[in-house]
């Protein structure tokens, strides 16, 4: 029986806009080639190192400055460009998460950097007036854990810290590679479609699991 639901952050909870971010890096930061490092699913190069916690924010900003055609860039300009990747949190998502929280333990498992995390928390609270910490029991973040999806290690560490059982946990992510790892480790999984409603995707799976569990209980009682 599913007792826990783990959500990815960017793409699943927070809406992403890659073009916004690339435009900001090009026009504001003078870094038109940033697209080589930025993906909706898995980052590359020094941006991947940043999300994995191998680079501090100050070190990341310095690398951006080295790539820039603009002589002087402020920390605020760089942070704004990174933040433009994350545009909003749909209020309906937060409402559904609060509804879901009544019956399930909710968690986040995300490849994210400290600048984007700060932005995500702000957008989440602005959406419906509640904090991430009010909804998710634990937030497993790549930059804090020094490990990233789709590697198995971050899932195993989440299991250890969270104390949950993979077979009793639904993992929701919009990246196929992340879904493949979770399935291999025994999680129930849902490949999230960012263009569709969250409740319409998650709830039928949870309902079907509950019905199946009830059938098994009745069958065991009749044996």
Task: Return per-residue pLDDT of the chain as tens, 223 residues.
Answer: 999 999 999 999 999 999 999 999 999 999 999 999 997 777 889 999 999 999 999 999 999 999 999 989 999 999 999 999 999 999 999 999 999 999 999 999 999 999 999 999 999 999 999 999 999 999 999 999 999 999 999 999 999 999 999 999 999 999 999 999 999 999 999 999 999 999 999 999 999 998 877 777 666 666 6
CATH number for the domain that contains residue 39: 1.10.150.240
- Both 100 and 78 in one domain: the answer is no
In the prediction, which pLDDT does 214 show? 72
- Domain end among 58, 83, 108: 83
Is residue 8 part of the annotated active site? The answer reads yes
Catalytic residue among 8, 105, 173, 174: 8
Residues 72 and 154 both lie in one domain:
no
The residue segments making up the domain with residue 79 are: 18-83
Contacts (Cβ under 8 Å, ≥6 apart) of 128: 89, 91, 94, 95, 98
Compute the distance between CA of residue 112 and CA of residue 105 in angstroms, rounded to an integer. Answer: 21
73 and 138 assigned to the same domain: no
For residue 206, give the CATH number of its domain: 3.40.50.1000
Which of these three, 83, 116, 133, is where a domain ends? Answer: 83
Same-domain check for residues 79 and 107: no
Same domain, 99 and 78: no
**Tally of domains within the chain:** 2
Report how far apart the first and last C-alpha atoms of the chain are (Å, whole number).
20
Tokens of 106: 């909710």
């Amino acid at each position: 029986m599913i007792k826990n639901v783990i959500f990815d952050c960017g793409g699943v909870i927070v809406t992403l806009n890659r073009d916004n971010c690339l435009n900001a890096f090009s026009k504001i930061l003078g870094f038109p080639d940033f697209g080589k490092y930025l993906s909706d699913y898995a980052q590359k190069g020094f941006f991947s190192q940043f999300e994995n916690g191998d680079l501090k924010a100050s070190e990341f900003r310095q690398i951006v400055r080295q790539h820039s055609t603009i002589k002087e860039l402020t920390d605020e300009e760089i942070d704004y460009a990174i933040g433009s990747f994350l545009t909003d949190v749909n209020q309906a998502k937060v409402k559904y998460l609060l509804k879901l929280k009544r019956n399930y333990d909710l968690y986040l498992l995300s490849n994210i950097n400290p600048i984007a995390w700060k932005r995500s928390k702000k957008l989440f609270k602005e959406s419906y007036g509640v904090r991430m910490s009010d909804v998710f029991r634990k937030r497993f973040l790549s930059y804090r854990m020094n490990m990233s999806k789709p590697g198995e290690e971050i899932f195993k560490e989440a299991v250890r810290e969270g104390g949950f059982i993979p077979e009793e946990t639904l993992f929701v992510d919009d990246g196929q590679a992340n879904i493949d790892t979770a399935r291999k480790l025994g999680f129930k999984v849902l490949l999230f479609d960012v263009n569709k409603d969250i409740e319409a995707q998650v709830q039928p799976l949870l309902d079907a699991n509950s019905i199946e569990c009830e059938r098994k209980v009745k069958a065991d009682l009749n044996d």
